[in-house]
Amino acid sequence: MRTLGVARQAARRAGEVISRYYRDGVEIREKSEGNLVSAADVEAEQAIAEVIRDAFPGHAILGEECHSDPAESEHLWLVDPLDGTTNFAHGIPHFATSIAYYERGVPLCAVIHNPIRGDWFTAVRGEGAIANGRPARVNAHAGVEQTLVASGFFYDRGPLMESTFEVMQEFCRAGAHGIRRFGSAALDLCGVGCGYYGIYFEFQLHPWDFAAGRLFVEEAGGQVTTTTGAPLPIALSSVLATNGALHATATGLTRRYG
């Protein structure tokens, strides 16, 4: 698939930019309270857009930093150049470039790349999910008491954060092995697809955060909806990703707050 090759090439270019800034240091500023950004985010997105535009001049790009074509575009690339900027800013090598290609609202291919660890997660609709060259598969946990739960919360320090903590407690009371908050929604979704945890939820994400990871989970055999169980829009949304077997149980706990 040509779009997958282009997405990989774009992610590689972004990875070069990000790795250089990670090594040499870069000034970090606050976009809004707690929401960090740096030249690495912006330059990486520009590098990605250059590769996409060279290959597909007519395609639309919706990116976090500087591309805002309409989400309804027939040929749409969803780009988060650096997902996990807070980790990046604090020197934690857990962040990724996330790129997805959607045609008429349907995700066709996805690439998520952590340039520091050299990790590659890719998915093609109908062809499965691959993590570092090997097929990825969700786990087979059938109950909350057999699994780990991952989550995250936006830069909100109010009701969204409170609801997230409430639901984390509910999962703990239901016997989950633990809660993980790693700081990159794209990599959290890859974690579900790789079977590390059976459930991941977050109450507010932008489409560029989840567009690629969502296809990765689905192609790995999992299920992704909003936290109320509705189909995911290409818009600001809550996200619930599970191994499939746990979806109904998880929705039962997240829907009250979503």
Q: Which of 43, 45, 83, 188 contacts Ca ion by CB under 5 A?
A: 83
Tokens read off for 194: 């790789």
Q: Is 209 in the site for ligand IPD (CB under 6 A)?
A: yes
Which token pair is 111? 């690439």
Is residue 114 within the footprint of ligand IPD (CB under 6 A)? no
The least CB distance from residue 40 to Ca ion, in Å, is 10
Q: Which amino acid is at 99?
A: I
Nearer to Ca ion, 43 or 64 (CB): 64
Task: Single out the residue of 101, 120, 121, 153 in contact with ligand IPD (rule: CB under 6 A).
Answer: 153
Residue 13 CB coordination number (10 Å)? 18
Q: How far is Cα 226 from Cα 233, in angstroms, rounded to an integer?
A: 8
Per-residue contact string for residues 173-212; x = within reach of Ca ion by CB under 5 A: ------------------------------------x---
Residue 184, binding choice from Ca ion, ligand IPD, none, Cβ under 5 to 8 Å by partner class: ligand IPD
Helix runs in the chain, H state only: 2-24, 39-55, 85-89, 159-173, 185-193, 207-219, 247-254
Q: Does 64 bind Ca ion (CB under 5 A)?
A: yes
Of 257, 35, 255, the residue nearest 156 (C-alpha)? 35
Handedness of CA 144, 145, 146, 152 (dihedral sign): positive
Decide: 214 and 237 in contact? Cβ < 8 Å.
no
Q: Binds 124, which of Ca ion, ligand IPD, none (CB < 5 to 8 A, cut-off by type)?
A: none
Contact 78, 208 (CB under 8 A): yes
Contacted by 6, from ligand IPD, Ca ion, none: CB < 5 to 8 Å by type: none
Q: What are phi and psi of 183, to 5 degrees?
A: 100, 15
Task: Kindly determine how many residues on this chain lie close enough to bind ligand IPD according to the rule CB under 6 A.
Answer: 14
Could you say which of Ca ion, ligand IPD, none residue 65 binds, taking C-beta under 5 to 8 angstroms by partner kind?
none
Part in contact with ligand IPD (CB under 6 A); list of ranges 13-21, 82-90, 141-149, 216-224: 82-90
Binding site for Ca ion (CB under 5 A): 64, 80, 82-83, 209
Binding site for ligand IPD (CB under 6 A): 80, 83-86, 152-154, 183-185, 202, 205, 209
